[in-house]
Chains A and B, each alone.
Chain A
Amino acid sequence: MRPMTATKPSNAQGIVWSLVTLLASALISYLVHPYAALSDLIMIYLLGVVLIAIRFSMLVSLATAVLSILSFDFLFIPPALQFAFPDLKSVITFCVMLVVAGVISKLNQRLREEQAASHRNEQTTLALYRLAQDLNGAVRVDQLVASATRHIERALNARAQVLLGDVDGNLSAEPGSPLSAKELGLARDAWSRCEAVKRCDAATTQVYQPLLGLHRPVGILCVFFPNGRGDDSDTIRLIVAFAAQLASAVERISLGTAVQHAQVQIETERTRNALLSTVSHDLKTPLSAIVAAGTTLFNEHSELDAATRLELSHTIVEAAERLDDLVTNLLSATRLESGTITLTRSVEALDELLGAVLSRFVERLGARPVKIEIPFSLPLIFVDPKLIELVLINVVENALRYTPEGSALYFEARQVGEEVVVSVADEGEGISEAEREKVFEKFFRGRLARSNDGGAGLGLMICRAAVRAHGGWIVSKSRPGGGACIEFSLPVAEKLAPNIPLTEQHA
């Protein structure tokens, strides 16, 4: 991609072309001179001079003009074939010829310079654009530095090294840094003075360009050119531009990290506050009931009848059960949230897990109709049984809490591709459109929640975390005909190894 005019033709070439043009002009003029006036012939020479001036340097153009004048004078101004002092008209023409040669070659020279400059600009822009593209992809500072170094080395065809400033404002050099102590000293010099440092010696040109961020330098870009290159203004401009871009990219990432960090802190703080309020309220309420009922029973001076004693004992048991559930949920939520949980997966049957969960709720289910539709052919699932049991417990718990006594519960499961989709529905008031997503958030309590029902807004959050840990999804929706429906997916277990026959003769 190099424009012809961008390269400067050599003077030797110019002289050759100049002589060729001169010869051509003389030949053409000789051929036409019987039919034309002298003033017309000089136009042919002028044309030759113009052509040379367009292509070659001022020196060659002027030389061509002078040679043209001499040759014209010698060949055509009478007396022919000897130099004669020209008439006034010819002198004016000769002057014009000289001026035209000078002006055109001057204009041409400027044009060439501008083209060269714009070409350099184009190259710079392209190099910067490529660097910017590379840097945009980076999400960590080390990635950024590696990619920038690679890029700058390619663009400048020189060795490059990026040093970054640390939080304390010191220029850090990693232990494995290939910089010598002297080079490091120069880099530190550029860092502390906030300006570029350049060192040239016989073998290399070293440039230490600070990466200037918004408020302070963020690092130093070191470039090492072999054998005397890198000393021109274009290269320096390019290095400065690279440094500016790299600096803003480094700042973008470190600011991004800072923002992220702040967000995590805010989130942590929010969680801690919510946890504290949950702990203080939801743990304290049943605890105070236990203490109150317990101390009343314990007081040997009080005269309680058997029925009252029974009632107080019942209160203690109930409150303690609620505490137990709450603590279990809090522990599960914490384990799931922290991501430290490891799934202990095995091949399980959904109907077995559901059966185990429903047997826990026998008393609370009472006479509620429970409709279960699980096809006999439903494949086994590959899950952590305790976690999925926890999911089912929480979903059932939720359904029981928000629906009137005696209303039905519906359990359904079906295979969809490599997943088993389970849905648990009730006949309650359902979940409003606005709360569809929120119900899965930590400490969220639906608008129907009662403050003393023992819920802490953890149940569905646990469900979501547990299902997602299995690579599944969970959604809340409306049951056709009214009521809420929680639907989630579980992974299907691999097919049974075929080496054991599952059909056998009756005993």
Chain B
Amino acid sequence: MSKARTVLIVDDEIQMRRTLGAALRGQSYEVIEAATGTDGLLKVASRSPRMVLLDLGLPDMDGIEVVRRIRAQGDVPIIVISVRNDEHNQVLALDSGANDYITKPVREAAFLARVRAVLRSVEPHRKESAAFVVGALRIDPTQTRAWVRGIEVKLTRTEFRLLSALMHEAGRVVTHQQLLRQVWGANQSHEIQYLRVYMKQLREKIEREPARPEFLLTSPGVGYRIKIAD
């Protein structure tokens, strides 16, 4: 029972482990810690945590490598914690299988919201057939129809696929590559222009003020994220 709420923090900085641990314990998560990549991988195998918080700058091995090895073992969700000037690694980590990333310095409210979002997105009992709701957005995959605040919007097939890909990962960042693969297929993964153009059209249709979006948020240099109410 308690195992379902165990979170492993892998970070070499004791202050970070202490602070993140305190925030998580305050929400009655059980916290285990590791200071190195090796120890982290060991604890993923031995303790089977519900989620891993992973710092990319580890003393003994590259954080991306840790992501890959955890992914090779199973699909425990991973949130990468990185410093701000680390976009390249963030994208690499996400494309390697991390579920989300948080930049340092970490703000508690935003941090807990991302943790909840990731846990929710990997919950097994997701109803694919019925209508899917995130905040004021609702889609019906069976009929490819979409509603914003209860009002139906007409979307093209591509726009719909884009919206539904983001909604299924609501709250976490989906990288450009992941979106391109999911929406256009593997061979189009470098044509980022299409993504920009379709995002623009999608925003025009579902946002009140497209330049200050409420739903479809941009993570410059990384990807897109659908905002969820905390």
A residues in contact (CB < 8 Å) with B = 320-321, 324, 328, 331, 344, 346-349, 351-356, 358-359, 370, 372, 374, 376, 380, 384-386, 388-389, 411, 493, 496-497, 500, 502, 504-507
Contacts and interface: CB of A to CB of B under 8 A. Distances in A.
A349 B200 contact: yes
B221 interface: yes
B218 A356 contact: yes
B193 A496 contact: yes
A496 B195 CA distance: 11
A352 B192 CA distance: 14
A493 B195 CA distance: 14
By DSSP majority rule, is chain B's interface helix, strand, loop, or mixed? mixed
Interface string B21-47: 000000000000000000000000000
A324 B85 CA distance: 12
A507 B160 contact: yes
A385 B196 contact: no
Contact of A356 (B85, B157, B159, B219): B219
B62 interface: no
Contacts of B182: none
A493 B193 contact: yes
A220 to B, nearest CB: 54
A355 B212 contact: yes
Given A344-B221, A346-B192, A380-B196, A507 B156 contact: yes
B210 A386 contact: no
Contacts of A344: 87-88, 221
Contact of B193 (A347, A370, A386, A411): A347
A506 B160 CA distance: 10
Interface in B193-227: 193-194, 196-197, 199-200, 203-204, 209-213, 217-221
Contact of A354 (B145, B192, B211): B211
Given A504-B156, A506-B156, A359 B200 contact: no
A195 B3 CA distance: 93
14 contacts: A344-B88, A348-B220, A351-B200, A351-B203, A351-B211, A355-B210, A356-B218, A356-B219, A372-B212, A496-B194, A497-B191, A504-B158, A506-B154, A506-B155
Nearest to B196: A349
A444 B213 CA distance: 34
A359 B227 CA distance: 11
Contacts of A349: 196, 199-200
Given A372-B209, A507-B159, 8 more contacts: A324-B105, A347-B196, A352-B220, A355-B212, A359-B217, A386-B87, A496-B194, A500-B191
Interface of B: 84-85, 87-88, 105, 144-145, 154-160, 188, 191-194, 196-197, 199-200, 203-204, 209-213, 217-221
Given A346-B192, A353-B220, A497-B193, A507 B144 contact: yes
Contacts of A321: 105
Nearest to A331: B85
Given A324-B105, A344-B88, A496-B197, A353 B218 contact: yes
Given A320-B105, A347-B193, A380-B193, A386 B221 contact: yes
A348 B194 contact: no
A507 B157 contact: yes
A355 B144 contact: no
A-B CB proximity, top 5 nearest: A385-B220, A385-B221, A352-B218, A356-B218, A507-B157
Nearest to A365: B212
Contacts of A324: 105
Nearest to B184: A500
Given A347-B196, A356-B219, A493-B193, A505 B88 contact: no
A198 B217 CA distance: 82
A328 B211 CA distance: 25
Nearest to A354: B211
B204 A374 contact: no
Given A346-B192, A497-B191, A328 B84 contact: yes
Nearest to A500: B194
Contact of B156 (A354, A358, A505): A505
Contacts of A353: 218, 220
Nearest to B176: A346
Given A496-B197, A507-B156, A356 B191 contact: no
Contacts of B87: 344, 386
Nearest to A502: B197
Contacts of A502: 194, 197
A351 B158 contact: no
A355 B217 contact: yes
B51 to A, nearest CB: 26
A507 B199 CA distance: 16
B167 to A, nearest CB: 15
A359 to B, nearest CB: 6
Contact of A504 (B145, B157, B191): B157
Contact of A348 (B145, B154, B158, B196): B196
A507 B219 CA distance: 28
Contacts of B154: 506
Contacts of B191: 497, 500
Contacts of A347: 192-193, 196
Contact of A411 (B144, B211, B220): B211
Query: Most chain-B CB neighbours within 10 Å: which of A354, A355, A374, A386?
Result: A355
Contact of B212 (A331, A359, A388, A389): A359
B156 A356 contact: no
Contacts of B212: 355, 358-359, 370, 372
A380 B191 CA distance: 13
A349 B114 CA distance: 26
Nearest to A352: B218
Contacts of B193: 347, 380, 493, 496-497
Nearest to A503: B156
Contacts of B217: 355-356, 359
Contact of A507 (B85, B155, B204, B218): B155
A355 B203 CA distance: 11
Nearest to A373: B211
A171 to B, nearest CB: 51
